[in-house]
Amino acid sequence: MAENPRSALIVDDERDIRELLVLTLGRMGLRTETAATVAAARAMLARDHFDLCLTDMRLPDGSGMELIQELAAHHPETPVAMITAHGNQEAAVEALKAGAFDFVSKPVDLNVLRGLVRQALELGELRRSDDARARGRYGLDSLGGDSEPMQALRRTIAKVARSQAPVHITGESGTGKELVARTIHAESGRAAGPFVPVNCGAIPAELMESEFFGHKKGSFTGAHADKTGLFQAAEGGTLFLDEIAELPLPMQVKLLRAIQEKSVRPVGAQAEVPVDARLLSATHKDLAALVADGRFRHDLYYRINVIELPVPPLRERGGDLDQLAGDILARLAGAQGRTPPQLEADALAALHAYPFPGNVRELENVLERAMAMADGDRISVADLHLPNAAAAASAPRAVTPPATTIPAPTTDPRQLNPFDTASSRLPEFIEQMERDAIQQALQENRYNKTRTAAALGITFRALRYKLKKLGID
């Protein structure tokens, strides 16, 4: 029996557009159904399954945005693309935020449409496959940790991987922004295509245009052969621009055009070359602040920041440190062909007490160094070489708060004066009680600030403020 052909739902009130799309998709082997209204499309979605949906923005009885939201909520396995009027970038961006896979502008470029359809179908196959994403090195499972921030991050990645929308990944240095970008790529319909990472801060300004867009032989001194640019190298896949805040303003203008037009002009070429690469970007800097200071273009900022994806720092990831440390030691040991060493109790306590300003990257460096310094198969606190590690690890896990003695009433008029000595004792007394409570909570929670804040019933930010105010290291 012949396999059932894949199907597409086309929603547009213009008969010519419907016929063009039916003809094009039919030649690609798809069975097509058409609707001219939101109501008709809903009726078809209720009674049939579709592998793809193409919908116009404006319909007689509503908006295509309604269908995008409905499909995202009730049929997440069906990729949907928006058909927009030429130049209506705002509508396209809103569609991507609502859950659209991609968009195509009128008049419809059939080559662009065919590429979009192929990727949408690949994404659908990927979602249905039991061994999808190869469950490999960069799948969702590669993001270690079961804390709520990491679970939320994985849920968001699974959602944004379904679309073609540009994603801007934010977070402190060392949190794993490139790993997040690779995971988005691995979970997307572009997983079979290339993943091209670029450190924007490492490319000399005078070579940026050639690196990004390529060049033709003889276009400048030293151009001895044609060169393929990074956009072309990422064709059919994902281009990841790390540290995008380092791009100089002239290059930002050219990058914006490449993103909007989906084409690039190699240096020395006479014509533009169409490119099909999804754009992901990242930085540890505050792009909004750079825009306000005039150091980053606001139009590029809004174009790359359709979806913002923050990566939590290690200190806010609850109890993930134990699992991360174990995974890192196992990986390092596997590369060296040895049995993973074990962290002694004092070493583990010291890791929990340390704030890790360099996040997961610093944790990896600390453990790799400790493995090299350790004697045998156990890592002690001395092997870690962390600041104040020995003192933190040797601190008692629980401390009984010292008894507080309230001064006995006195008849000394100087002490009864509310503006004299007694009035200064109360703030000091309260401050000491607060310090004792915080120190005890820190020790009971092994110096994990997130758990300490929760135990004290205050926010993490409030705890940081009090630690600074009270001089608690």
Q: How do residues 232-269 score in pLDDT, each as one tens digit?
A: 999 989 999 999 999 999 999 999 999 888 899 999 88
* Pairing mode, strands 278-283 and 238-242: parallel
Q: Out of 3.30.450.80, 2.60.40.10, 1.10.8.60, 3.30.460.10, which CATH number does the structure's domain 316-394 have?
A: 1.10.8.60
**Distance between CA 298 and CA 287 in Å, rounded?**
9
Identify the pLDDT of residue 466: 78
CB 456 within 8 A of CB 463: yes
Cis peptide before 248 (omega within 30 of 0): no
The DSSP code for 243 is: T
Longest dimension (CA), the chain: 104
Residues of the chain with CATH 3.40.50.300: 135-217+225-312
Residues 282-338 have pLDDT tens digits of 999 999 999 999 999 999 998 999 889 999 999 998 789 999 999 999 989 888 888
* Pairing mode, strands 238-242 and 58-59: unpaired
Element (H, E) at 307: strand 307-310
- pTM strictly above 0.75: no
Residues of the chain with CATH 1.10.10: 413-470
CB 252 within 8 A of CB 208: no
- CATH code of 135-217+225-312, in short, is 3.40.50.300
Identify the pLDDT of residue 125: 66
The pLDDT of 72-99, averaged and rounded, is: 77
Residues in the chain: 473
Residues of the chain with CATH 1.10.8.60: 316-394
Q: What phi and psi values does residue 306 have, to the nearest 5 degrees?
A: -60, -45
Residues 352-400 have pLDDT tens digits of 999 999 999 999 999 999 998 888 889 999 999 887 654 444 544 433 3
Identify the pLDDT of residue 218: 84
Torsion-angle region of residue 122: left (phi > 0), alpha (psi -120 to 50) or beta? alpha
Start-to-end C-alpha separation, the chain:
72
Residue 428 banded pLDDT, cuts 50, 70, 90: low
Instruction: At 399, list the tokens.
Output: 């401390």
Identify the pLDDT of residue 429: 62
DSSP line for 8-40: EEEE-S-HHHHHHHHHHHHHTT-EEEEESSHHH
Residues 13-32 have pLDDT tens digits of 999 999 999 999 999 999 99
Q: Out of 2.60.120, 1.10.10, 1.20.120, 1.20.1740, which CATH number does the structure's domain 413-470 have?
A: 1.10.10
**Distance between CA 106 and CA 34 in Å, rounded?**
18
CB 243 within 8 A of CB 200: yes
pLDDT of 39 over the 50 cut: yes
pLDDT of 403 over the 50 cut: no
**Distance between CA 133 and CA 137 in Å, rounded?**
9
**Distance between CA 75 and CA 50 in Å, rounded?**
9
Identify the pLDDT of residue 448: 79
Average predicted confidence (pLDDT) for the chain: 82
CB 264 within 8 A of CB 273: yes
Closest by CA position to 265, among listed 254, 276, 280: 254
421-446: burial string, b at 16+ Cβ within 10 Å, e else? eeeeeeeeeeeeeebeebbbbbbbbb
Residues 6+ apart with CB under 8 A from 120: 51, 52, 79, 81, 101, 102, 189
CB 169 within 8 A of CB 281: yes
Residues of the chain with CATH 3.40.50.2300: 7-128
The pLDDT of 404-408, averaged and rounded, is: 39
**Distance between CA 182 and CA 143 in Å, rounded?**
11
Q: What fold characterizes domain 7-128?
A: Rossmann fold (3.40.50)
CB 106 within 8 A of CB 84: yes
The helix, strand and coil proportions of the chain, stated in percent and rounded to the nearest 5, come to: 50, 15, 35
3-class DSSP state of 275: coil
pLDDT of 191 over the 60 cut: yes
CB 350 within 8 A of CB 389: yes
DSSP line for 376-403: TTEE-HHHH--TTHHHHHHS-S--PPPP
Instruction: At 119, list the tokens.
Output: 């990727």
Q: Is the dihedral of CA 323, 324, 325, 327 positive or negative?
A: positive
∠ at Cα 216 (215, 218), nearest 5°?
115
